[in-house]
Amino acid sequence: MFRLQRALPERYVEATPDQLTTWIGAAKSELGPRVLILGHHYQRDEVMRWADARGDSFGLSRTAAERRDADYIVFCGVHFMAESADILTAPSQQVILPDLNAGCSMADMADIESVEDAWESLATVTDVERIVPLTYMNSSAALKAFVGRHGGAVCTSSNARAVLSWALDPAGTGSAQGDKVLFFPDQHLGRNTGFELGWGDADMRVWNPLLDMGGLDDTDVKEATLLLWKGHCSVHQRFRPEHVEAFRAEHRGGLVFVHPECAHDVVEMADQVGSTDFLIRAVAEAPSGSVIAVGTEIHLVKRLDDEHPDKTVVSLDPLVCPCSTMFRVDAPHLCWVLERLVEGEVVNRITVDPDTAAWARRALQRMLDIT
Ligand code: 13P
Ligand code: SF4
């Protein structure tokens, strides 16, 4: 998805870290409770230190929705998170993304046109009324609205199991919403959750949006229970079984904790698997003295290591792997949006049109009702 962040004024580009600290502090106190700064776990420390609340993508949107007194929500994260915050906050609240180029490459792997094309193609071979579309939180508002319109739901990495169970009822209680799921945009979260619930390879097919009929034939579509969109996170897909083997060879008794956006062969080898909030809790609960390799974004891994001096926390991939879009939000951009607010100008506002927001809200509400 193409977005354009205009170049920052020189004042911010040339500022020293100390100047930025002074300016951000002054602007933040001038704005007081009218501004709420939210920091996703993957943000840099120079940004995170200013966050009024830290959290995962959904937790932060909820925080935004609960803070009705804040006129401005400065979302230090990526575009889909700011959109979700706009959907869940009051119309009078304005959501700001410090750098418009802070997207999510995974979210961009499923655009609304490709999903609508897939739906039309599927309708030529199967009854789409029996397909439940599920979208990961890491998706555009348009996709969440699509899911809302077609009886599906949003899920996050912490509740994908509950949402998939709601859709397909693997326990056989008779409450299934359909016979198949189209899961986008992350094939890995879909596959990992499917395996966790007892499905196997034979029940899953990857839908490649670049190919006719997703690269599948009619039999594939009919046989599949889980149609997994061919999308991935470039950060989490880097972790490989070789990293787990190398870490365990070096640290006997070492623990491996990974995010479910990692490929299934890595997830299978890990000691613990879960969302960013889960990983934070898992490290906190690990015995003192543990050596832990974490398979997730490097800023969170480093922060975990800093916050637990009694444990050693390292990246599962020894080569640093930051999320390049999260990394776009930095102190100069944060300073710029705050100083513009002090001057009464809202820059980089993220808005979702009312119709899209209403349907997306319905898909988000289903998720809340399920979990
Ligand atoms: P969370 O939903 O855990 O915040 O993860 C978001 C994300 O982008 C993971 O790569
Ligand atoms: Fe998107 Fe991956 Fe970055 Fe998360 S870590 S924001 S999924 S690109």
Secondary structure (H, E, C), the chain:
CCCCCCCCCHHHHCCCHHHHHHHHHHHHHHHHHHEEEEEECCCCHHHHCCCCEEECHHHHHHHHHHCCCCCEEEEECCHHHHHHHHHHCCCCCEEECCCCCCCCCCHHHCCHHHHHHHHHHHHCCCCHHHEEEEEECCCCHHHHHHHHHCCCEEECCCCHHHHHHHHHCCCCCCCCCCCEEEEECCHHHHHHHHHHCCCCHHHEEEECCCCHHHHCCHHHHHHCCEEEECCCCCCHHHCCHHHHHHHHHHCCCCEEEECCCCCHHHHHHCCEECCHHHHHHHHHHCCCCCEEEEECCHHHHHHHHHHCCCCEEEECCCCCCCCCCHHHCCHHHHHHHHHHHHCCCCCCECCCCHHHHHHHHHHHHHHHHHC
57 lines ligand 1 (CB under 6 A): yes
Q: How far is the CA of 57 from the centre of ligand 1 (A)?
A: 6
| Residues of the chain below pLDDT 70 | 1-3
Residue 2 pLDDT: 52
Residue 65 pLDDT: 83
329 lines ligand 2 (CB under 6 A): no
Smallest-distance ligand from the CA of 105: 2
Residue 1 pLDDT: 53
105 lines ligand 1 (CB under 6 A): no
pLDDT, tens only, 14-69:
999 999 999 999 999 999 999 999 999 999 999 999 999 999 887 887 898 888 88
325 lines ligand 2 (CB under 6 A): yes
156 lines ligand 1 (CB under 6 A): yes
Counting from 1 in the atom list of ligand 2, the atom nearest the Cα of 297 is 5
Residue 158 pLDDT: 87
Residue 6 pLDDT: 84
